[in-house]
Structure 1
């Protein structure tokens, strides 16, 4: 496959995490059909990713994690997604869920993240209900899109806190929302993931029923500060969670460009069949435009992430910074989708067959664009902030 030789090269001076992923990628890419058919990431691949430290990228150094700069996290997820989008997506969910470790009490953070090969996941959307009881909460809820959950030791779910059967309010029309952690033994996984793309992510539903969760295994991104004063955790948590989606999208789009270029140097144009697809001006234009679109979006994303990290280092993150990070996430994801579309169209009828990696790139990228973190409505809130309006920016 074209991806193997492209990813296997190891530049000098490369970060050890990126080098580890370059070594893993040639093992992952040939298993794409297996991953897609299984509709989940195989346990042995998840274990290899864990052993390589992929799921420790955002865990604090104080707890034995890598605490990487966010641009390195983006590059790692991008490289893995280039080999297989579903593997990259599962790595993204597991690695970025781990930012929760910086918000949890130290004892609970060490309990959950103390094992260097632990994988966590979950869904932050408050689709569960947590009744306040002595010492913690009794939780019931069901969450869709629990990606990679089959390989997780712990899962987190967003909840609305209840007291005496009613939402506990923090202000007018503002219910208390928290994220709670459950051991996998307390969770029922439902095999509901029959999707158009990202088929191998195992993003089915997770459910808990009347489960007790100690108070220490909960956190709030809205009302609490991280317990560790480090630049990575000064980044807006929702911005960090959103950052994973363009990371996957960049990898998918790079794979699509790679595949079209390889095809164009092999496929002959009909009806005479004397000239390669690469000689067609429309294909040349499509490759050039896709390359420029992708690299420009990637540069914007990296510039914005670096600016945000510098602001976090100075403890000066503003709502404008948060809006720009989310803008870069949405723009990059949708730009990557445009690049994939161009490559799919340029390939012609060859791309519609399951044997073509381009059809999978198309399906995968257009599932990624449907995620609420990068959906078009995000631009409305972002635009309001950029215009200086009193925008409802709590989720940025």
Structure 2
């Protein structure tokens, strides 16, 4: 990393810290709105958060992945939903490296451009002259309410039949569609991470030019270290960064509460109780260990990408294992803090209840589901394994 890049990363982290007081103050507002307020999204864009994974050649920051995740983690300590929207917007910007230069510059036509969407191929892209006709409805569209461009995963249809890869599986591609041509459907009524606005969206027979369609797991025209990281890997890393930030926030909240609260029926403050002391220690050990493994795996892959221009399956395996472990270790730390908070934890006035709900929504994401441990386990055991989504 160059000195200039290091300075840019430091500036991004400082901007994330500067947002923290406002995000804490507005957390209830963000949750009630069930989407990130436009003014915050616009200011995140001006702060450069959505450019962290955009190629430098097109006006982005192209930050090392660990630095991007640290920014997301810092934001999550203040508000999980805001951090989630930044993670989606930031990592989605990396797809510009997969487009032809002319198309990438057309999409990223101003520094505040925001791309969000869904990789899952829930739509149909019917091949026509010059591109595709796209139709479908997608779930889990985090941050799409504020986006300029929408990514929509599609199964490719050619001559009336699904196009297939050499191994027989259907071919899927991501379609970049202007947000003005997308219908947003208000479906996001959930227990946690409500402020992410992860609503459904639909596309109705929209033409997408060939140069606005991209494949995942393929090499783009920009052979840069950051773009050696697979999209699914970046997705899992972002979920973990949010979860780690939430867990740190929970420990901070409980620590402050423990010094001020004397539980009913007790003569001692919460901090003086052995259960509290033990619980804090276990949470700290679990969280710090998971965080260390997470950043170690990312840095090892980053070093390989810089030295060799690629990351091996073993790096991808370790990233997936570390991200899944980080999310669930974070949830365990939050659970401990929530339980130690007693009755205080259940009130809307306590950030612990929102953190508890937010982190348990994060654990439900398919990228960090328990089945991912089976995937990484097969690789450790040397078994034949489909690594397409690793």
TM over 0.5: yes
Corresponding residue for residue 30 of structure 2: 35
Corresponding residue for residue 233 of structure 1: 227
Tell me: CA distance 1:59–1:13, structure 2 relative to 1, closer, same or farther (3 Å). Answer: closer
Decide which of 19, 38, 46 is 1:51's aligned counterpart: 46
Unaligned runs of 5+ in 1: 1-11
1:282 aligns with 2:275: yes
1:95 aligns with 2:90: yes
Whole-Å Cα distance in 2 between the matches of residues 235 and 36 of structure 1?
Answer: 32
1:172 is displaced (CA, Å) by 4.1
**Residue deviations 1:259-305 (CA, integer Å, cap 9, x gap):** 00011011112215x32100010011111110111111010001000
Contact 1:28 1:45 in 2 (8 A): no
Contact 1:130 1:137 in 2 (8 A): yes
Within-5 A mapping of 1:205-224: 205-222=200-217, 224=218
Whole-Å Cα distance in 2 between the matches of residues 381 and 167 of structure 1?
Answer: 27
Contact 1:64 1:114 in 2 (8 A): no
SS in structure 2 opposite 1:330? Answer: helix
Tell me: CA distance 1:14–1:167, structure 2 relative to 1, closer, same or farther (3 Å). Answer: closer
Contact 2:225 2:310 in 1 (8 A): no
1:307 aligns with 2:305: no
Whole-Å Cα distance in 2 between the matches of residues 116 and 98 of structure 1?
Answer: 11
Whole-Å Cα distance in 1 between the matches of residues 85 and 213 of structure 2?
Answer: 23
SS in structure 2 opposite 1:121? Answer: strand
Contact 1:85 1:252 in 2 (8 A): yes
SS in structure 1 opposite 2:99? Answer: coil
1:164 is displaced (CA, Å) by 2.1
Whole-Å Cα distance in 1 between the matches of residues 132 and 289 of structure 2?
Answer: 47
1:46 is displaced (CA, Å) by 0.5
Within-5 A mapping of 1:337-356: 337-356=331-350
Contact 2:224 2:309 in 1 (8 A): no
1:253 is displaced (CA, Å) by 0.4
1:173 is displaced (CA, Å) by 2.5
1:254 aligns with 2:248: yes
Whole-Å Cα distance in 2 between the matches of residues 352 and 23 of structure 1?
Answer: 29
1:315 is displaced (CA, Å) by 2.6
Decide which of 119, 122, 125 is 2:117's aligned counterpart: 122
Whole-Å Cα distance in 2 between the matches of residues 81 and 347 of structure 1?
Answer: 20
Decide which of 370, 385, 389 is 1:391's aligned counterpart: 385
Whole-Å Cα distance in 1 between the matches of residues 31 and 262 of structure 2?
Answer: 30
SS in structure 1 opposite 2:140? Answer: coil
Whole-Å Cα distance in 2 between the matches of residues 89 and 376 of structure 1?
Answer: 21
1:237 is displaced (CA, Å) by 2.3
